[in-house]
Amino acid sequence: MSFESPREPARRSLAVQCCIVGGGPAGMMLGYLLGRSGIKTVVLEKHADFFRDFRGDTVHPSTLQVMQELGLLEDFLKIPHQQLTHMQGMFGKTPIRIADLSRLETTCPFIALMPQWDFLNFLETKGARFPSLQILKNTEAIELVRDGSLITGVVAKVPDGTLQISADLTVACDGRHSIIREQAGLKVENIGAPIDVLWFRVGKSKADSDGIFARLQRGQMIVTIDRDDYWQCAYVISKGKIDDIKARGLDAFRDSVTSLAPILRPRIGDVRNWGDVNLLTVRIDRLTRWALPGLLCIGDAAHAMSPVGGVGVNLAVQDAVAAANLLFDKFSNGGPSLEDLEQVQRRRLFPARMTQTMQTVIQDNIINRALSGEDLKPPLVARLITAIPWLQGQTARLLGIGVRPEHVHSAQRL
Ligand SMILES: Cc1cc2nc3c(=O)[nH]c(=O)nc-3n(C[C@H](O)[C@H](O)[C@H](O)COP(=O)(O)OP(=O)(O)OC[C@H]3O[C@@H](n4cnc5c(N)ncnc54)[C@H](O)[C@@H]3O)c2cc1C
């Protein structure tokens, strides 16, 4: 890096082969893989750490398989986590079974539930041994840099000024509010999501456990994630209804929550005011083009996922594995060509489209209908899955492994 006068806001520069914008699951996995292949790579993360709560907590069997292929699984599973083998729910008063992951023939037939910051911190720690990988926190990409039609890097805001990064390839992994895809002028197809999520914590004793993951009642839905000494709660609401909920008051909100999930009653007082309840906006969208010369978008930046099925993290990781597989050996002559980058879209568009279709079918036909107070009988498909264990294995495949799982083929060059 070059430095200018220490009194002026610093304007520094850095030249790399690959600049990854965003240290979420897509960006951290791609950074790890390219660093492992000896590609000079920088990952920019705008926050100072990974300790934020808007992320998914699910590490799926196919991501665990990737960890195994990277030789990281044993250490990874030493991080405290819960192993979810069965996905069950309550539809009104009727118990339903959504998926039986123990039927999967894979190294880890379960979803590892752990706060996502543990997953990202783990990748950062393990990636520290690759001299070609740099992870810069407190570094926010604010501007794409172009040379004609070629994207040549970004300008980032750093605590004491700016950092100009030139790169043979810039990869947007900056999530569903990606500024990189916006600045690149890439067209977004909005698929729509009729729901938003209220995200809050309620304390628990370590001994409390609950086999029920999701509960749906007329007009309400909640998912409770066991984080050992507290429940991470996702209360699903119809889009735009937050003001109505607030108008009814905090007590009414607490009552709705505990009537839906009685296990939360003893510590619901932990929700002391509306400041303890975060609104997370949900969207489903997809870029029509994921690449331009010098630029590729993956993860939510290419296809924003809703929380339905808890599959967005896995999809982001799988995109990263595919991108590394297809691109790691294309950096020797000035970086991957547009044709190389389009290969990534060709490989990953189908899984993204299929998964988003599954999410919209569930959102529109089950969650949204129930939230609007309609018919609360479990739909036929849910009753069939509950009755037929073989079908629970098929849904486990769809949710836990996903469409077109990726395996690591990029080289390790240390
Ligand atoms: C309410 C909600 C709950 C969800 N729950 C789950 C779940 O349980 N399981 C699941 O699998 N999926 C879940 N999802 C979907 C999941 O969060 C996403 O699909 C997944 O996080 C996508 O990963 P990503 O790496 O592409 O993007 P992100 O996880 O969004 O990461 C983007 C990263 O880029 C950083 N960043 C953004 N802009 C910049 C910038 N300009 N410069 C530098 N850094 C930047 C951000 O700080 C962030 O760290 C949920 C989604 C929502 C909305």
Q: Whose C-alpha lies nearest to ligand 1, atom 31? A: 24
Give the rounded percent of residues in the chain with a pLDDT score beyond 90.
Answer: 71
Q: What is the pLDDT of residue 93?
A: 79
307 with 355, same domain: the answer is yes
Same domain for 63 and 176, yes or no, is yes
337 and 203, same structural domain? no
Q: Is residue 414 part of a domain?
A: no
- Can you give the pLDDT at residue 2? 42
pLDDT at 212 over 70: no
Residue 258's domain spans which residues?
Answer: 195-281
Query: How many domains are there within the chain?
Result: 2
**CA of residue 175 to ligand 1 center, whole Å:** 5
CB of 369 closer than 8 Å to CB of 375: yes
The CA distance from 19 to 132, in Å, is 12
* Residue 245 lies inside a defined structural domain of this protein: yes
In a domain, 108, yes or no: no
Q: Does 97 or 128 have the greater pLDDT score? A: 128
Asked if residue 74 and residue 204 are part of one domain, the reply reads: no
In this predicted structure, what is the pLDDT of residue 33?
98
> Is 132 a domain residue?
yes
174-187 confidence digits (pLDDT tens): 999 999 999 999 99
158 with 59, same domain: the answer is: yes
The pLDDT of residue 5 is above 60: no
Q: Exposed, middle or buried by CB within 10 Å (0-12, 13-18, 19+), for 249?
A: exposed
Is residue 271's pLDDT more than 50? Answer: yes
pLDDT in tens, 287-338: 999 999 999 999 999 999 998 888 999 999 999 999 999 999 999 888 999 9
Same domain membership, residue 321 and residue 262: no
Q: What average pLDDT does the segment 329-355 reach?
A: 96
Q: Is residue 289 part of a domain?
A: yes
Q: What is the rounded distance in angstroms from the CA atom of residue 233 to the CA atom of residue 242?
A: 16
The per-residue pLDDT for 323 is: 98
The predicted structure's pLDDT at residue 210: 67
Per-residue confidence (pLDDT) for residue 324, from 0 to 100: 98
The pLDDT, as a whole number, for residue 39 is 97
Give yes or no for residue 140 CB within 6 A of ligand 1: yes
Cβ 307 under 6 angstroms from ligand 1: yes
CATH number, domain of 35, equals 3.50.50.60
Instruction: Note whether residue 381 is domain-resident.
Output: no
Kindly give the distance from the C-alpha atom of residue 143 to the centroid of ligand 1, in angstroms, as a whole number. Answer: 20
Residue 243 has pLDDT above 50, yes or no: yes
Average pLDDT over every residue of 58-75: 97
Which atom of ligand 1 is closest in space to residue 298's alpha carbon?
26
Confidence band, pLDDT 50/70/90 cuts, at residue 388? very high
Residue 308: predicted pLDDT: 85
- With cut-offs at 50, 70 and 90, classify the pLDDT of residue 61: very high
Q: What is the pLDDT of residue 226?
A: 81
> Residue 1: is its pLDDT beyond 60?
no
Q: What confidence category does residue 4 fall into, taking pLDDT thresholds of 50, 70 and 90?
A: very low
Alpha-carbon gap, residue 82 to 93, rounded angstroms = 26
Residue 374: pLDDT band (50, 70, 90) is low
Residue 320 lies in a domain: yes
Residue 6 has pLDDT above 50, yes or no: no
Q: Is the CB of 123 under 6 A from ligand 1?
A: no
Q: Is the CB of 309 under 6 A from ligand 1?
A: no
Per-residue pLDDT tens digits for 98-132: 899 999 999 999 999 888 999 999 999 999 999 99
- Same domain for 57 and 158, yes or no, is yes
Q: Is 26 in the pocket of ligand 1 (CB under 6 A)?
A: yes
Residue 176 sits in the same domain as residue 206:
no
**Residue where one domain finishes, among candidates 246, 265, 281:** 281
| Ligand 1 and 194: CB distance under 6 A | no
Predicted local confidence at residue 307, as pLDDT: 86
> Could you tell me the pLDDT band of residue 10, with boundaries at 50, 70 and 90?
low
Based on the fold, state whether residues 142 and 28 are members of the same structural domain: yes
Question: Has residue 240 got a pLDDT over 90?
Answer: no
Which one is predicted more confidently, 367 or 37?
Answer: 37
Same domain? For 172 and 237 the reply is: no
**Mean pLDDT rounded to a whole number for the chain:** 91
Q: Are residues 45 and 121 both part of a single domain?
A: yes
24 Cβ below 6 A of ligand 1: yes
Domain closes at, from 349, 366, 383: 366
Domain shared by 166 and 49, yes or no: yes
pTM for the complete prediction?
A: 0.92
In a domain, 265, yes or no: yes
Q: How many angstroms is it from 23 CA to the middle of ligand 1?
A: 9
Query: For ligand 1, is residue 27 a contact (CB within 6 Å)?
Result: yes
Domain boundary among 247, 281, 315: 281
Residue range 233-246: mean pLDDT, rounded: 91
